[in-house]
Amino acid sequence: MPEQKPKVSQRWTNQEIAQLLYRIADILEIQGEIVFKVVAYRRAADAIEHLGRDIRDIWQNDPKNLRAIQGVGEAIADKIDELLRTGELGYYKKVAKGIPPGIFEMLTIPDVGPKTVARLWKELKITDVVKLEKAARAGKLRDLKGFGARSEEKILAGIEAQRRKKSSTRVTLGAAYPFAQQMVDALRAACWSAIRDIAPAGSLRRMKPTIGDLDILVSSDSPQQIIDAFVNLPQVRDVNAKGTTKASIVAQNGLQVDLRVLESKHWGAALQYFTGSKEHNIDLRNIALDQGLSLSEWGFKTVKGEKEIFTPREEEVYEKLGLQWIPPELREATSELEAAQKKKLPRLIELKDLKGDLQSHSTWSDGNFTIEQMAEAARARGLKYLAVTDHSQGLGIARGLTPEKMKQQWKEIDALNQRWSDFQVLKSVELEIHADGSLDLPDDVLKELDLVLVSTHSALKQTRDKITARVVKALQHPLVDIFAHPTGRLLGNREETALDLEEVFRVAKETGTILEIDGAPDRLDLDDARVRRAREVGVDIVIDSDAHSPDGFAGLFFGVAMARRGWLEARDVLNTLEWKEVRKKLKRNRRTNL
């Protein structure tokens, strides 16, 4: 979107609509609107952002249909209807009037929210990032009540992080994956009779945490029809190149998408080649050469070039070389070819293997939906248990719970658990580890919970020794069961902490503390390399969604992707077990023989 007026494309996407609603929420908060109204727009934006299907399929020219989306009420449904019908939104123009364009760029700086921006604008007349940086460097921000030298340092660091982010075109897997599926579905719908096979390739197919651009392969006997349809899809902003079998476009969201159309006989070799990684492909070609074969994206040839061998299926590429088929997530030249030669590749975990989710949030803290709504959504996905892990009192920004509030929440959970014989809501908490390693709630409260997650959200700039000692102290507590999103990273926004993960793995193994793969698309923490290392050490692992809305349970899919990249099988992940089995393995219960 341009700075003050959002970009109007031929067809508003879910992501564009969500961003507009987030923008309206920010404006309302800057203007001091009531919290309820701000939260309503953010809740609707979150629901649409993670909808999982084209909002137009729900809308179908009737705003009443939009109210079926959780979080979208009558007023917001009417506004979305106006947007989809006309391409514009009068309410946005009204509330945005008089807001300096640079204000919105200031909101992209880490740790600078609408309330801070409002004060900077109204009290210091700062209306863009350039003025903000100048004022911070001149020490003028500390004149504001509640600001100090440390605040100026954080803002300057945030501006620098913003610049680094702008210089990179990479997007998170959580944003790229649904968009790639949208592109594939749109192209398939436009040319359904001409497409034999179609699939994304590249780092997306390998499920890398961030994606630079998208590669889509199509097998067809009508390449020109496919190319023509591709460059005219509503998602296209600019056409970089258009040939007879290849095309490249820039999408409305800024991603570059490259398309290649090929004959079916080349499909298997091309899919393997364009999936990568580069290092995996080099190693694979060397294995082929050792067998007197030359391998390219077109297939095999004998080294002397006398014979061509085509592979219509990707599996045939690996079969021809005497290898097990290697799942795309493992193709990173990290010993997968050696394992495939010995027929010892792991049987990787799948999403369907998960029986429960041990991190989720509700309206009791910073979630957008009630416990009942979250539980119903988890149950609808086939899960059998869900831990409600709202934040503890020390995380004020997330409306963390006091012991008294937690006890009220338990009553609601008890009532819900009376409703189902096939599903259980677990009493839990995401407990803040204080800067000195102490915990945010007393032991008498923690004893009453089914399980306890701990995490760090503050003092993340501590030195390696300090933050490691802090985390180790928490992990040694007998009532701490899981260490959540261990490195604290936010992809594209916040670097990892200086935590010594080798020491954390050692202590986790020693104490029986479980480590989490947080599948929230902006976290994906632990990453694949750390997952594999934790498994080598013998640490127990869970995969959680960190869902703040029903659609947030999609985080389980991305968490499983990180687990697969880390070579995990179902038996390596605790929440593939029934809750009664997981419960036995928690150190709080092992120590007390419950």
Domain positions in the chain: 14-167, 172-341, 351-592
Closest listed residue to residue 317, CA positions, set 332, 302, 335, 299: 299
Confidence at residue 305, expressed as pLDDT on a 0 to 100 scale: 66
Question: Which tokens in the block code for residue 375?
Answer: 């539980």
**Stronger pLDDT, 46 or 420, i.e. the higher one:** 420
The whole-chain average pLDDT of the chain stands at 90
Q: Is the pLDDT of residue 290 over 50?
A: yes
pLDDT for position 11: 60
Lowest mean pLDDT among 48-62, 181-195, 530-544, 545-559: 48-62
- Taking only the tens place, the pLDDT of each residue in 214-262 is 999 999 999 999 999 999 999 998 898 899 999 999 898 888 999 999 9
Question: Is 397 a residue whose pLDDT tops 70?
Answer: no
Is the pLDDT confidence value at 167 over 80?
A: no
pTM (whole model) above 0.85 = no
pLDDT of the residue at 249: 92
pLDDT reading at 326 higher than 90: yes
Average of per-residue pLDDT across 10-22: 79
155 pLDDT band, cuts 50/70/90, is confident
- 559 or 139, greater pLDDT: 559
Band of the pLDDT at 500, cuts 50, 70, 90?
very high
- pLDDT per residue as tens digits for the range 412-421: 999 999 999 9
Neighbours of 112 (CB within 10 A): 19
The stretches of 369-525 forming alpha helices (DSSP H) are 371-380, 403-417, 443-446, 464-475, 501-511
Residue 165's pLDDT is what? 58
Instruction: Tell me how far apart the alpha carbons of residues 315 and 102 are, in angstroms, rounded to a whole number.
Output: 52
Q: Give me the pLDDT at residue 13, please.
A: 74
**pLDDT at site 594:** 37
Cβ of 325: how many Cβ atoms within 10 Å?
15
Q: What is the mean pLDDT of residues 17-33?
A: 90
* Confidence grade of residue 136 (pLDDT, cut at 50, 70, 90): confident
C-alpha–C-alpha distance, residues 505 and 500, integer Å: 9
Picking from 99-103, 304-308, 544-548, which range would have the lowest pLDDT averaged per residue? 304-308
Lowest mean pLDDT among 391-395, 485-489, 561-565, 581-585: 391-395
Q: Angle between the 14-30 and 114-124 helix axes, to the nearest 10 degrees? A: 50
23 or 149, which is more confident?
23
What's the pLDDT at 10?
A: 42
pLDDT score at 5: 38
| pLDDT (0 to 100) of residue 146 | 79
Residue 316: the pLDDT is 97
Q: How far is residue 507 from each of residues 7, 511, 536, measured CA to CA in Å?
A: 51, 6, 14
Q: Is the pLDDT of residue 161 over 80?
A: no
Q: Which two tokens stand for residue 341?
A: 């030669």
Q: How far apart are CA 302 and CA 308, in angstroms?
A: 7
Reported as a single tens digit per residue, the pLDDT across 424-480 is: 999 999 999 999 999 989 999 999 999 999 999 888 889 999 999 999 999 999 999
The mean pLDDT of 292-321, rounded to a whole number, is 90
Question: What is the pLDDT, as a whole number, of residue 466?
Answer: 94
The pLDDT of residue 232 is: 94
Q: What is the CA radius of gyration of the chain?
A: 26
Matching CATH number, 172-341, of 3.30.460.10, 3.40.920.10, 3.40.50.620, 3.30.365.10: 3.30.460.10
Instruction: Describe the strand order of the beta sheet including 424-427 as a list of residue ranges.
Output: 356-357, 385-388, 424-427
Instruction: Report the DSSP beta bridge partners of residue 476.
Output: none
What is the share, in percent, of the chain residues with pLDDT greater than 90?
A: 64
**Could you say which architecture CATH assigns to the domain 351-592?**
Alpha-Beta Barrel (3.20)
pLDDT at 398: 60
Residue 9 has pLDDT above 70, yes or no: no
Mean pLDDT, residues 384-402 taken together: 85
Average pLDDT over residues 532-538: 94
Q: Among 441, 455, 448, 451, which Cα is nearest to 402's?
A: 441
pLDDT at 6: 37
Judge contact between 516 and 484, C-beta under 8 A. Answer: yes
Protein fold of 14-167 = DNA polymerase; domain 1 (1.10.150)
The rounded distance, in Å, linking the Cα atoms of 535 and 401 is 33
pLDDT at 335: 92
Task: Give the pLDDT score at 1.
Answer: 37
Average confidence (pLDDT) over 359-368:
90
Mean pLDDT of 84-102: 89
